[in-house]
Amino acid sequence: MSTICCIIGTRPEAIKMAPVILKLKERGLSCFVLATGQHTDLLTQALRTFNITPDRDLSIMRERQSLDYITSAVLTKAGEALDDVKPKVVLVHGDTTTTFASALASFYRKIPVGHVEAGLRSGNLYLPFPEEANRIMVDKLATFWFAPTEIAKNNLLKEGCDPSRIWVTGNTVVDALMMVKGLKGEPEFLKEKLPPHVPLLLVTVHRRESWGKPLESVCEALIEILKSFPRLWIIIPMHKNPLVRETWQRYLSDIPNVILCDALEYDDFVWIMNRSTLILTDSGGIQEEAATLKKPVLILRDVTERPEALSEGTALLAGREPSKIVGLALKVLLDDDFRERLLSKSSSPFGEGRAAETIVDILMQYLNANEHCLGE
């Protein structure tokens, strides 16, 4: 039986690839799950939510790892694993360093690559860094492009990708969200900390370009928001990166209605997103999840590769200037009419939760009808 190898290395990849992995197995296909361990604990935590155990874990993570190290370690070790498994197709997701290095290792072995969430572009090679460059390079190496939206498809067409191998599938994060939404109630750790019925602001910041001064600016903005809206509670699941954690703790640990916590299980995180009044984030996936949940979100970045979140979703581009973040946040929190207009979009632009099914259908057609021609 032909094997499809799904390579994942970080929490977002695990969440967004989980529906594809589960659908492949449901259809009886041979699916080999290769974890690089770029983010070991967070990756394991996310997979646990979906009851997925990797077939092999490369365990590359080390303290304060550099992009050079991650790239070379994944390229070498994933390459060795591919030599052992000999898959007919490799699936990678998104724009991480694991994604790029795995696609390159597959290319070196002439193994066709399917890129899930292909075609996203910010238009600035350094924003986000290194993700924009990663996804461009992966799309140059791919054989199949699974674009989440029409805009992503058009980006690929402009770059000369074969239109017969581009499919608009929706985003697999919607599948994942629908799988876990409502499975659990309020997380135990919140029951004694978060008063009932209070307005809640969820904040997540993790990208490299947010480290240092930009994150300090976000902290300053949060302090000002609380001064103007003291009933508000804030919850911040902190990334494991010590630079990020130290900044959060230095600015906010002494404020009573700010809850700093470790990274959450995905089903707990979905519950908190759904409970939130407003979300502030530099995450890409949360822009998609917020649109699906009908939650307003301020994007703490200068550009986004998900313009649909702005034009059709529930997002506003806030940047990192404290005064702009404060102004937009208070407008969403306090102006009911403005918030309702933002949330009045008819549907999420990121699909209806059938992306994994579409992707697996396409792969089965190729494996069944034209397997020997996949690499041509």
Segment holding 181, helix H or strand E: none
* 206 and 123 within one domain: no
- Residues 133 and 250 placed together within one structural domain of the fold: no
Task: Single out the catalytic residue among 135, 239, 301, 320.
Answer: 239
With 0-12 / 13-18 / 19 or more C-beta atoms within 10 angstroms meaning exposed / middle / buried, residue 326 is buried
CATH code for the domain in which residue 262 is found: 3.40.50.2000
* 148/192 same-domain check: no
| Position 175 in a domain | no
Q: Has residue 177 been placed in a domain?
A: no
User: For the segment 11-26, what is each residue's pLDDT rounded down to a tens digit?
Assistant: 999 999 999 999 999 9
Q: Are 140 and 215 in the same domain?
A: no
Residue range of the domain that includes 290: 188-342
Same domain, 119 and 229: no
Inside any domain, residue 179: no
Query: Of residues 13, 131, 132, 305, which has the active-site annotation?
Result: 131
Mark whether 23 and 141 lie in a shared domain. yes
Chain position carrying tokens 């067409």? 157
Token pair for 363: 């792969």
Question: Is pLDDT above 80 for 294?
Answer: yes
Q: Are residues 161 and 193 in the same domain?
A: no
- Decide if 203 is inside a domain: yes
Do 101 and 146 belong to one domain?
yes
Structural domain includes residue 162: yes
The answer to whether residue 182 is domain-embedded is no
- pLDDT tops 80 at residue 148: yes
When pLDDT is cut at 50, 70 and 90, the band that residue 375 belongs to is: very low
Q: Examine the domain organization and report whether 133 and 272 are in the same domain.
A: no
Is 239 a catalytic site residue? yes
Per the annotation, the verdict on 95 as an active-site residue is: yes
Active-site annotation holder among 13, 95, 132, 282: 95
**From 115, 206, 306, 320, active-site residue:** 206
Separation of alpha carbons 94 and 9, rounded Å:
11
Dmax over Cα atoms in the chain, in whole Å?
65
Q: Is 117 a catalytic residue?
A: yes
Predicted local confidence at residue 211, as pLDDT = 82
349 in a structural domain: no
pLDDT over 70 percentage in the chain: 98
* Catalytic residue check, 206: yes
pTM for the model stands at 0.93
The verdict on residue 327 lying in a domain is yes
Burial class for 325, CB neighbours closer than 10 Å (0-12, 13-18, 19+): buried
Instruction: Report the alpha-carbon distance of residue 268 to residue 78 in Å, rounded.
Output: 31
Burial state string for 258-275 with b = 16 or more CB within 10 A and e = fewer than 16 = bbeeebbebbbbbbbbee
Residue 179 scores a pLDDT above 90 = yes
Query: In whole numbers, what is the pLDDT of the chain averaged over residues?
Result: 94
Tell me how many domains the chain contains: 2
121 is catalytic: no
State CA 246 to chain mean position distance: 23
Are 37 and 116 contained in the same domain? yes
Q: Percentage of the chain surpassing pLDDT 90?
A: 86
Q: Return contacts of 191-197, CB within 8 angstroms, 24+ apart.
A: 193/259, 194/233, 194/235, 194/259, 195/233
- If asked whether residues 325 and 362 sit together in one domain, one would say no
pLDDT digits 0-9 by tens, 183-216? 889 999 999 899 999 999 999 998 888 888 999 9
Same domain, 156 and 210: no
- Of the residues 48, 56, 165, 208, only one is catalytic, namely 208
